[in-house]
Amino acid sequence: MPVSDYLVTIGLEVHCQIKTATKMFCSCKAGFGYEPNTNVCPTCLGMPGALPVLNEYAIERTILAGLMLGCSTPPVSRWDRKNYFYADMPKNYQTSQLDLPLCIGGEVPLFAWAYPADAALPPHEGAVVRRVKLDHIHLEEDAAKLTHYAGYSLVDYNRGGTPLMEIVSAPDMSTPDECYAYLKSLQQLMICAGISDADMEKGQMRCDVNVSLRPKGQRELGAKIEMKNINSMSAARRSLIYEIRRQAEELDRGIAQVQSTRRWDDALGESIVMRTKENAHDYRYHCCPDLIPVRTAPLVAKVAAEKPELPDARYERLQQQYGLPAADAATLVGELPLCAYFERAAASSKAPRKVANWVINNLTAALADKGQSIADCPVAPEKLADLVGIIEEGIVSNNQAKEVLELLWSDAAISATDAAAKLGYKKADSGALESLVDKVLAENGDLVALVKGGNAKLINALTGQVMKQSRSLPAKPNPKLVTELLSAKLGL
């Protein structure tokens, strides 16, 4: 049977590190890039008798994530121990949540711009292609980081005990493209609320995908195959494409699938079976006796006021408020620091559409060129707005403005107008420019005749002549203006 004769069911479990100053159950510093095993204490090292203290801020961020995704929060939320034995967890249990997590239900919107570039999107209206049902979101602690070498492994307990949100979807997706869009959309949502930086390369967001196939017409789901710790969106997509084909081929040959966990090897491009059958009861979950349940009502009330503008709402607003094309709005929504920069620049500009174009194209190119991020861009947004302003006034052409941008980059004090003047770009004295245009027209009778005869493109040759002779003028003219002047004189 071809793959298309099977129904594919995909679910995702996403672990997302919450951006907090301290760990989940102790006051050790949370964060990335410290000397290994320096941010540790008896609690996060699992010493006997050390007791946990809740990080209220992490609980609030999780509730905020739930509010953004339309989850409900039970009045009382509880902590459970998930028992397992491994070097990344010195207590031999992870403090997590099973029956009464902080958020229940909800949906993740799949934004149209979050799909892979080559995906065929189903018909949809507006920014949200569809919404994927969530099962729940719970809060737990991260495990320590293990690094494996030939014959030995090293463990860094700095990461152990940092707050980790686990966002569990319902089995509500059916294609690898949806899985990609789910991760991308979720990432944008977490970043826009400041809940997490959700950088998959840094392990701040990690995902387990599970997928099952069943023949069309069969009601119950097929055996669930899980692939753990996938660390990029494209790897998640690739792993699913591979796994769906592998399962279909085996089912075709009469090989029944068994519930199991596989490891996705992205370099090899295949999944390898690790272990079969693993259920919640294997972990002997039980209520944590060291932590009292959380009454959520005051936290829900507090966090409700912090709900940010969601990417789909911002996408609509950018188009309405500034008249941006949909593609530009999507680009900006996907790059929040760039979007913030744009909105500051647009606030002091009469041409916000053009400002968006400059931010997305020329400014981004300049940043990439210099290996800088928008956060350390030396050109203030207001100055970029001024630069677009002098293009609009005809003082510089688009290309000349790129030179002006370079000067603004190296000299933080200079204004856009002064930078243009320093480069010799001034609004040309119309009288002087006009007589130069007349002179060029008189000198090039044959070209003029051809242009008038219908060869409109040759006007560029006349513009070139004017530009060449413009050294006699006090300032270099804007070639676009020259062409306009020539056209007017020639009655085109």
Site residues for Mn ion per CB under 5 A:
166
Range 18-37, binding Zn ion (CB under 5 A): 26, 28
- Contact flag: residue 110 with Zn ion (CB under 5 A): no
For residue 314, the Cα-to-chain-centroid distance in whole angstroms is 14
- Contact flag: residue 360 with Zn ion (CB under 5 A): no
What residue is closest to Mn ion based on CB? 166
C-alpha separations of 81 from 7, 140, 273, 284 in Å: 36, 10, 27, 8
Instruction: Choose between 63 and 137: whose C-beta lies nearer to Mn ion.
Output: 137
Residue 166 contacts which entry, Zn ion, Mn ion, none (Cβ below 5-8 A, type-dependent): Mn ion
Which bin fits 417, alpha (ψ -120 to 50), beta or left (φ > 0)? alpha
C-alpha separations of 309 from 27, 90, 322, 333, 353 in Å: 31, 40, 17, 11, 21
CB of 45 to Zn ion, least distance (A): 7
Encode 38-49: b = buried (16+ Cβ within 10 Å), e = exposed. ebbeebbbeeee
Q: Give dist(CA 404, CA 426) in Å, integer.
A: 12
Site stretch for Zn ion (CB under 5 A), options 42-50, 178-186, 319-327, 387-395? 42-50
Number of residues located near Zn ion, criterion CB under 5 A: 5
Instruction: Choose between 57 and 84: whose C-beta lies nearer to Mn ion.
Output: 84
CB of 15 to Mn ion, least distance (A): 6
CB of 37 to Zn ion, least distance (A): 11
Type of residue numbered 74: P
Instruction: Choose between 166 and 243: whose C-beta lies nearer to Mn ion.
Output: 166
Residue 462 contacts which entry, Mn ion, Zn ion, none (Cβ below 5-8 A, type-dependent): none
Neighbour-count burial of 95, counting CB atoms closer than 10 A to its CB (0-12 exposed, 13-18 middle, 19+ buried): buried
Structure tokens at 392: 């609009």
CB of 46 to Mn ion, least distance (A): 17
CB of 50 to Zn ion, least distance (A): 9
Q: What is the SS3 assignment for 459?
A: helix
Site stretch for Zn ion (CB under 5 A), options 38-46, 99-107, 219-227, 353-361? 38-46
Q: Give dist(CA 195, CA 16) in Å, integer.
A: 9
- Contact flag: residue 143 with Zn ion (CB under 5 A): no
Residue 44 contacts which entry, Zn ion, Mn ion, none (Cβ below 5-8 A, type-dependent): Zn ion
User: Given the rule CB under 5 A, which residues bind Zn ion?
Assistant: 26, 28, 41, 43-44
